[in-house]
């Protein structure tokens, strides 16, 4: 979050962590507390920290005494250490001094005044330490009816556990500028904030001011900006949409919400010599949205499935696999696709590792499955392998949920995925050595004995021979010249081939991009998007296989993602293209853009990897 408050807080933490350790004696414990700013506006965040020097606390600080404020822990303590030399009575020793910082945030009250955070207790090495009270001052921001903030839920009657889409609409009846801080924490009213609506924001959207950034509960997020109507007046409307879930039943008040912002005001120049750039000042303003009542109905106990994990809404589940004809032990890319009530990020898919029908037929990869969520579906991809040849299908999966339309529990069930699994032939030692039968032909005896090999003296004649006679006969010339010439030619060919094949991995690496681009060119001739996605997916997998000397067969999207991460190469762009291809191939999903755009994205991803270290990592 880019604002002065956060900057001051960071600087304060750095000053604490850089404090000279030798100011404390070795083994001495010191506990202190402080806030990021001594003055804040009502409704804004105050950052409170407890600092333990000398040793780690036995447990989290006891902040139960801070009853006036709701402290929110910002995570585990930050740790820093300093090592220095110490001389006592002429003896040198090395001392390490450790500092632990526990960080919290609280929302400043809306009412102006001075507030005190009481002492908190910290136990270190069995001994209790107390911090000093910390005070801060709350300033009263201005208010104006020109900047109303409104909470608009999608529905006002829901079931317990049902996600509700809530719109936070801020209307601008005048100029406003950053820092803009929107605060909405419904937990105290019986609701839980689970997610934000994911706006697919492009650079063009930001350039055209269709979306703006603001600070929402301490995080920088995008909000949609468009024209809206409030009480009959046309104003600029800034909208942020979130999902909440009711955790209690009854009539609950959803809210409140609060937005703080700066409004510029122009002061008249007192003199013609005053700079025109010094005449603009800003005032801090605040707008508060009133809570909205929501009627939350309880869930029935009758008919609740034993494996129901709390899903409320309406859901569907599909399963896909590729390839569907394999040998025993070959990798199969298995995809689970869940659609239904948003937000899908909170939906947990069925755990196939706990499904006995699944584990009996398949071995499941130990790698973490690849998970992606978009506005249409949640997709989980992982690798499985058939255990035996009698596997005929991937069994269906079930996803139980409570259907808010019918008011009853339902079970979404996928269809079984048919498979053809061939056995893997085992080669034995006998196969390798042969069957042991002799192939020697039978010997025959000759009655004439050894004399059968002796010819008459008449057949003998004088046949002089020697080097001179060889040179006069063409046949001998051929016999003499061809062997050394053939040897020389063979040696030359072998030498050239050895040089070319001295490093097969390097040869694959050199040709990786060219081969991938050739495949992408063929994808342009595909008859439809699904066919093209298959070719593009093969091109991307083949490129990584060639570049890193891997076996292309059985290389999954997860394997590719892991390979890129291991070599510290950009992952997101390359893997996003592969996941889009998987969605088209397995689920028949539509994606933004056509074949040419998908090819272009794939080519750009390959070019980017080629530029990284010249494309020659080993």
Whether 225 and 157 share a structural domain? yes
pLDDT at residue 499, as a whole number = 66
Decide which of 92, 115, 139 is a domain's last residue: 139
Judge whether residue 543 has pLDDT over 50: yes
- Choose between 587 and 192: higher pLDDT: 192
- Dump pLDDT digits (tens) for 73-107: 888 888 887 766 666 666 766 667 788 999 998 88
Question: 105-137: b or e for each residue (b if 16 or more CB lie within 10 Å)?
Answer: bbbbebeeeebebbbbebebeeeebebeebebe
Per-residue pLDDT averaged across 537-552, rounded? 88
Decide which of 367, 389, 422 is a domain's last residue: 422
Whether 101 and 25 share a structural domain? yes
Whether 157 and 229 share a structural domain? yes
- Choose between 561 and 207: higher pLDDT: 561
Paired strand residues for 205: none
Q: Find the range with the poorest average confidence among 6-10, 212-216, 382-386, 607-611.
A: 6-10
Whether 247 and 120 share a structural domain? no
Q: How confident is the model at residue 569 (pLDDT cuts 50, 70, 90)?
A: confident
Please, which residues have CB within 8 angstroms of residue 61's CB and are 6 or more apart in sequence?
50, 102, 120, 121, 122, 131
Residue 480 lies in a domain: no
Q: Is the pTM of this model over 0.85?
A: no
Alpha-carbon distance values, 330 to 166, 389, 397, 579 (Å): 47, 11, 22, 21
Question: Is the four-CA dihedral 88, 90, 91, 97 of positive or negative sign?
Answer: positive
Residue 274 lies in a domain: no
Judge whether residue 5 has pLDDT over 60: no
Q: How confident is the model at residue 615 (pLDDT cuts 50, 70, 90)?
A: very low
Paired strand residues for 215: 181, 220
Q: What percent of the chain has pLDDT over 90?
A: 35
- Dump pLDDT digits (tens) for 36-83: 888 888 878 888 999 998 888 888 899 888 888 888 888 888 888 776
Query: Across the chain, what does the average pLDDT equal?
Result: 82
Whether 209 and 289 share a structural domain? yes
Domains held by the chain: number: 4
- Dump pLDDT digits (tens) for 147-204: 999 999 999 999 999 999 999 999 998 888 888 889 898 877 899 999 998 888 888 8
- Choose between 200 and 1: higher pLDDT: 200
Residue 71 lies in a domain: yes
pLDDT at residue 428, as a whole number = 58
Distance between CA 451 and CA 529 in Å, rounded? 84
Highest average pLDDT, of 214-218, 219-223, 412-416, 476-480, comes from 412-416
- Dump pLDDT digits (tens) for 478-519: 777 788 887 778 878 777 677 666 677 778 888 888 899 888
Q: Residue 30: which domain range?
A: 4-139
Judge whether residue 275 has pLDDT over 90: no
Whether 290 and 347 share a structural domain? no
């Amino acid at each position: 979050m880019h604002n002065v408050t956060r900057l001051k807080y960071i600087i304060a933490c750095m000053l604490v962590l850089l404090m000279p350790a030798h100011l404390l004696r070795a083994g001495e414990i010191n506990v202190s507390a402080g806030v990021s700013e001594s003055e804040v506006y009502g409704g804004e965040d105050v950052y409170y920290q407890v600092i333990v020097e000398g040793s780690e606390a036995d447990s989290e600080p006891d902040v139960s005494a801070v009853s006036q404020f709701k402290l929110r822990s910002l995570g585990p303590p930050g740790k820093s250490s300093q090592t220095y030399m110490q001389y006592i009575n002429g003896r040198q020793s090395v001392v390490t001094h450790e500092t632990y910082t526990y960080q919290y945030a609280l929302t400043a009250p809306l009412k102006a005044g001075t507030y005190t955070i009481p002492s908190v207790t910290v136990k270190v090495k069995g001994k209790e330490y107390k911090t000093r009270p910390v005070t801060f001052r709350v300033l009263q921001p201005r208010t104006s009816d020109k900047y109303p903030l409104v909470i608009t839920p999608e529905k006002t009657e829901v079931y317990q556990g049902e996600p509700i889409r809530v719109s936070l609409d801020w209307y601008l009846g005048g100029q406003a500028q950053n820092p803009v801080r929107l605060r909405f924490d419904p937990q105290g009213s019986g609701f839980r904030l689970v997610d934000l609506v994911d706006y697919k924001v492009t650079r063009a959207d930001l350039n055209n001011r269709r979306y703006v950034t603001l600070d929402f509960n301490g995080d920088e997020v995008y909000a949609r900006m468009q024209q809206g109507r409030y009480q009959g007046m046309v104003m600029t409307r800034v909208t942020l949409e979130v999902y909440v879930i009711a955790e209690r039943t009854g009539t609950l008040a959803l809210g409140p919400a609060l937005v703080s912002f700066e409004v510029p005001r122009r002061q008249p120049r007192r003199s013609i010599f005053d700079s025109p750039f010094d005449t603009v000042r800003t005032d801090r303003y605040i707008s508060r949205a009133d809570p909205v009542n929501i009627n939350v109905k309880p869930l029935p106990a009758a008919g609740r499935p034993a494996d129901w994990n709390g899903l409320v809404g309406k859901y569907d589940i599909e399963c896909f696999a590729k390839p569907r004809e394999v040998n025993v032990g070959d990798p199969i890319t298995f995809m689970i696709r869940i659609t239904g009530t948003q937000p899908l990020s909170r939906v947990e898919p069925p755990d196939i590792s706990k499904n006995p029908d699944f584990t009996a037929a398949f071995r499941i990869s130990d790698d973490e499955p690849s998970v992606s969520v978009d506005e249409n579906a949640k997709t989980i991809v992982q690798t499985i392998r058939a255990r035996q040849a009698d596997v005929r299908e991937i069994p269906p999966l079930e996803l139980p949920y409570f259907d808010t339309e019918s008011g009853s529990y339902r079970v979404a069930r996928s269809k079984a995925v048919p498979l053809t699994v061939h056995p893997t032939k085992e080669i034995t030692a006998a196969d390798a050595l042969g069957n042991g039968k002799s192939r020697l032909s039978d010997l025959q005896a000759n009655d004439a004995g050894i004399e059968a090999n002796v010819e008459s003296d008449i057949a003998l004649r004088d046949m002089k021979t020697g080097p001179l006679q060889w040179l006069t006969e063409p046949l001998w010339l051929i016999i003499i010249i061809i062997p050394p010439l053939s040897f020389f030619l063979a040696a030359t060919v072998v030498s050239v081939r050895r040089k070319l094949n001295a490093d097969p991995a390097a040869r694959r690496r050199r040709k990786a991009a060219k081969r991938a681009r050739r495949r992408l060119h063929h994808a342009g001739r595909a008859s439809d998007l699904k066919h093209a996605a298959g070719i593009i997916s093969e091109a991307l997998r083949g490129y990584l296989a060639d570049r890193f000397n891997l076996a292309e067969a059985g290389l999954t999207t997860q394997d590719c993602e892991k390979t890129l991460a291991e070599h510290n190469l950009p992952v997101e762009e390359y893997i996003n293209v592969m996941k889009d291809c998987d969605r088209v191939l397995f689920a028949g999903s539509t994606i933004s853009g056509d074949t040419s755009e998908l090819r272009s994205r794939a080519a750009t991803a390959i070019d980017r990897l080629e530029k990284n270290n010249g494309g020659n990592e080993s």
